[in-house]
Amino acid sequence: MTWNKLFCNSCELQLLGTLNGGQSFRWTHNQDNNEWTGVFSKTVWKIKQSDNFLQYQVLGSLYKDISENNSNKSHKFSDEQNFEFLLKKYFRLDHDLGKYYKKWSEKDKLFQEACKQFYGIRMLAQEPVENLFSFICSQNNHISRISSMVEKLCMFYGEEICNHNGVKYFTFPEVEKLSDPQVESKLRELGFGYRAKFIQKSAAQIVEWGGEKWFNSLQEMKYKDARQELMKLCGIGPKVADCICLMSLNHLEALPVDTHVYQIAAQNYLPHLRGKKNVTDKMYAEIGDHFRNLYGDMAGWAHTVLFCADLKKFQQNEKSDSVENCKQRKKRKNK
């Protein structure tokens, strides 16, 4: 199978930090050939990077032509145009990340240092249904188990996309499938614990409130109003609500605060918060507001770079690469 190429300088997109940083749980990394395999938009992808291109293969897809949702019905998109559109949207490639990094570096010396290694960290534009239920699974959990739970949801309630090298890949289930009252008992059998109730009850609420239309209305609301609406769902607290706002509702100022984010804030920005045992509602709001005042309306994205830079697993896996290396590659390209 041949590789398709989408122009994207590696300085503008770092796959390791973006796909392995706890945003999405459906990507696997083959370190031998540095290829990533994952599922989004009802499509199975294999992707890898070169200096100036994001290379991709589509292993299977149930995605319908984007022209069906386009106001210009007379224009029919080719498969390649469809898939390029999906990749650009997913990685938010319409955002000039270099410009934002420069802006954030000027405001924050810690960011200025972190971004030397953790360049190209993108905030994925995920589908709200998958994002919401994946983060219900994330509560009091670790990444490998979250990934296992997400795959179980897909296997039992999604639609098979394809079988590649003996592995079956499935779509993330429609919210209506998860709203069935029998879902809770089945998920408990599968090891979801108390999360089983949260998933089924939240799905039923979303269906009752209008499903996709309800999610669309959240995107049109102001951030804090959308956050309050999400917290009306069964099992959705402030942190998960902020994850959904940030990662799938286009509220890029949302900043999920967990104990790790608290430690970054207390150690480097808000020393009066050091030594606290729990993150109270007041502290949560103070931390979020501090970074929104510092970084502006994309604070959640900016802070994700600090989050990645502070994670030990990235420090252990980091390559001898830097923004300076990126600049050298750009110079060679422009000669």
Whether the CA torsion 153, 159, 165, 166 is positive or negative: it is positive
- Residue 240 sits in the same domain as residue 259: no
d(CA 184, CA 181): 6
Q: How many domains does the chain have?
A: 3
Give which of 220, 248, 247, 244 is closest to 232, Cα–Cα.
244
Euclidean distance between the first and final Cα of the chain, in Å? 32
Is it the case that residue 327 has pLDDT exceeding 60? no
- Residue 149 sits in the same domain as residue 183: yes
| 198-216 burial: b if 16+ Cβ within 10 Å, else e | bbbbbbbbbbeeebeebbe
Residue 300 belongs to a domain: yes
Cβ proximity of 108 and 167 under 8 Å: no
Measured in degrees and rounded to the nearest 5, phi and psi for residue 8 equal: -170, 105
- Per-residue pLDDT, averaged over 30-49, amounts to 96
Contacts of 35 (CB under 8 A, 6+ apart): 29, 46, 47, 48
The whole domain housing 55 covers 1-62
- Residue 239 sits in the same domain as residue 304: no
Q: What is the pLDDT of residue 273?
A: 97
Q: What is the CATH number of the domain that holds 264?
A: 1.10.1670.10
| 231-265 burial: b if 16+ Cβ within 10 Å, else e | eebeebebbbbbbbbbbbbbbbbbbbbeeebbebb
7-22 pLDDT per residue, tens? 999 899 999 999 998 9
Q: DSSP string of 243-270?
A: HHHHHHS--TT-----HHHHHHHHHHT-
Residue 90 belongs to a domain: no
Residue 22 belongs to a domain: yes
Q: What is the pLDDT of residue 232?
A: 98
Is it the case that residue 323 has pLDDT exceeding 80? no
199-232 pLDDT per residue, tens? 999 999 999 999 999 999 999 999 999 999 999 9
Residue 8 belongs to a domain: yes
From the CB of residue 316, how many other CB atoms can be counted at a distance below 10 Å? 7
96-126 pLDDT per residue, tens? 999 999 999 999 999 999 998 899 999 999 9
Options 239, 277, 319, 335, the catalytic residue? 239
- Per-residue pLDDT, averaged over 160-185, amounts to 97
Average pLDDT over the chain, rounded to an integer = 91
pTM to 2 decimal places: 0.91
Instruction: Give, for 281, the enclosing helix (H) or strand (E).
Output: helix 281-295
- Residue 188 sits in the same domain as residue 145: yes
- Residue 148 sits in the same domain as residue 243: yes
Residue 1 belongs to a domain: yes
- Residue 289 sits in the same domain as residue 305: yes
Tell me the H-state helices in 57-194. 79-90, 97-107, 109-114, 128-137, 143-157, 175-178, 183-189
d(CA 249, CA 263): 26
Residue 332 belongs to a domain: no
Whether 239 sits among the annotated catalytic residues: the reply is yes
